[in-house]
Amino acid sequence: MARVYDAADRYDEDLLLKVPIPLWLVILFLVRHLLLLGITFMPTMGEGLAIIRNLVMPAYLLADLPAVLVLLAAMRRARPCKDWVRWIWWRAREILSLSILLYLALVGRAVWQEHSFLWQSIDEAMLVSLMLSLAALVYLWRSSLLAAVVRDCPGQRD
């Protein structure tokens, strides 16, 4: 791929566009349930973190799985990109959007099962999570830098 951005600090040592920090934050946000669950099982942590383990609802772990694929691809992205990395990376925005939409659907399902109104079913933490999810979705599709980054993953023959 031809160089699109003039700033040298936008590129890594393989001359690939670096994954922008906002994208790393979006990915970490989208795998937050798995991260929280993983932290609670660390051997150096005390029993007090068992409370956090109880807060992580298993259904929401399902929404984290697509984002884990993108996280793995982002960590393995190097010239030349392996075929599986390239396939995932070129579809990173769609996969991360799927993760967000799964999360929103799971929240909607939980609200529906409670047979109550949305404003009665969610607390402040859930509201913040929903707003961040929507902001991440807007970022994924509005950032021109991100669109260039996900296209920049050359294979063996490129």
The residue ranges of every structural domain in the chain are: 17-151
What pLDDT band is residue 71 in, cutting at 50, 70 and 90? very high
Instruction: In whole angstroms, give the CA distance from residue 73 to residue 90.
Output: 10
Average pLDDT for the chain: 85
pTM of the model: 0.85
Q: Tell whether the model's pLDDT for residue 1 goes beyond 50.
A: no
| Token duo for residue 18 | 């670096």
**% the chain with pLDDT above 90:** 47
What pLDDT band is residue 140 in, cutting at 50, 70 and 90? very high
Q: Tell whether the model's pLDDT for residue 2 goes beyond 60.
A: no
